[in-house]
Structures are given as structure tokens and as C-alpha cells.
Amino acid sequence: MLVRLCEGVVEHVGYFVVCEEGNSISPEVSRILVSIARFK
């Protein structure tokens, strides 16, 4: 996952495929999805 620090805020720089349709969600993917949901 590409990120950068801009004035103390972490920003996503590019696209990152977390999961694909039909695949199971691992605990690691679940943590990523929760952290993304908190940013919105």
C-alpha cells in the first residue's frame, strides 16, 4: 500500500487491491478494511 505523510496526515498515494470478489477475507484484510473505513 503506497502512502505518504503530508503535514502529519497519512495519505494513500495509489490504488491497492485489498480483496477480490469471491475470495475469503483474512484477518489482515479485515484490519485494512476497518482502517480505511475510519478514514472516510
The residue to which cell 502512502 is assigned? 3
Mean pLDDT, to the nearest integer, of 5-33? 84
Alpha carbon distance 30, 18 (integer Å)? 9
Cα 37 to the chain's mean position, in Å?
Answer: 9
Q: Residue 16 contacts by C-beta under 8 Å, 6 or more apart in sequence? A: 1, 2
Binned at pLDDT 50, 70 and 90, residue 19 comes out as confident
Binned at pLDDT 50, 70 and 90, residue 31 comes out as confident
Binned at pLDDT 50, 70 and 90, residue 16 comes out as confident
HEC sequence for the chain? CCEEEECCEEEECCCCCCCCCCCCCCHHHHHHHHHHHHHC
